[in-house]
Amino acid sequence: MSEKEVKGLQRIDIKRKLPAGFDELTTKEKNEVIKKIQEQDIEIRGEMLRKVAKSEIAEHDLAVGIDAVQRLDHDRKIYSKKMEGETGSGTYELNIRGGDTKFIVPVLVSIGIIIIVLALLFH
């Protein structure tokens, strides 16, 4: 936290948020307007904190997922990792596919040869 940031309960400065003509209202109307502004301010701050929390959770989840992919045994393996999550600004979907190309190419060539042989047999 920075030095200027105050912890705990704080008084909300609503004077700069007051609508034009506020001074012409009755005391009861002024109190209602002030109460409504304070409620809206609290709602906005709460929503902002929820979105920040979602973004931090998503950041953590992505770091864990990427770490899991990095720890995979890449030798003679093909892997696929799909992650979905929600951030404060929306959702994301991350697909990671990869593997050892020295292993993938021979497997694909073998499958291709088998398909060609089957096609010739049935033709």
- Please indicate, yes or no, whether the overall pTM of this predicted structure exceeds 0.95: no
* 3-60 pLDDT, tens digit each: 566 666 666 666 666 777 878 888 898 889 888 888 988 899 999 999 888 888 888 8
Contact at 8 Å (CB) between 65 and 39?
A: no
* 77-88 pLDDT, tens digit each: 777 778 888 877
The Cα–Cα gap between 113 and 121 comes to 12
The domains of the chain are located at 15-97
The Cα–Cα gap between 27 and 35 comes to 12
Residue in 101, 108, 112 with CA at minimum distance from that of residue 76: 101
Which of 53-62, 73-82, 94-103 reaches the highest mean pLDDT? 53-62
Assess whether pLDDT exceeds 60 at residue 2.
no
Q: Coil, helix or strand for 81?
A: strand
Give the phi and the psi of residue 8 in degrees, each rounded to 5: 85, -165
The Cα–Cα gap between 14 and 35 comes to 10
Give the phi and the psi of residue 2 in degrees, each rounded to 5: -75, 165
Residue in 40, 83, 35 with CA at minimum distance from that of residue 58: 83
